Amino acid sequence: GDSVTQMEGPVTLSEEAFLTINCTYTATGYPSLFWYVQYPGEGLQLLLKATKADDKGSNKGFEATYRKETTSFHLEKGSVQVSDSAVYFCALITLQGAQKLVFGQGTRLTINP
């Protein structure tokens, strides 16, 4: 079935460091891909998305490119801030078949000043 695998956390970085959180997926058909962010005590919010191969989603300095050949959607940011500390989830939804929204296990990110 459809699945998403994220790099295991937690990840701790210093402010202004470069961030990569790896995400790979398995899906039938051509899924839409998402990154969601969860701040403490809150629900999930959409961070960015891409709906077809080679699309790049971007928001708040974060980017991710839909790579069909490697079935990946890695999240990157050039210079992280303390306010980026949160849990990040990679997710997919297939537009055929079951049409379930499936999440990875989440990566907790902590940024130290």
Binding mask 2-41 for other proteins (x = CB under 8 A): ----x-------------------------x-x-x-----
Please list the residues that pair with 44 across neighbouring strands.
38
* Cα separation, 51 vs 39, whole angstroms: 25
Closest CB to other proteins among residues 12, 14: 12
Nearest 5°: the CA angle 91, 106, 102 is 30
The one segment of 18-26, 45-53, 66-74, 78-86 that binds other proteins by CB under 8 A: 45-53
Phi and psi dihedrals of 77, rounded to 5?
-150, 135
Residues in touch with other proteins (CB under 8 A):
6, 32, 34, 36, 42-46, 49, 51, 89, 93, 95, 98-106
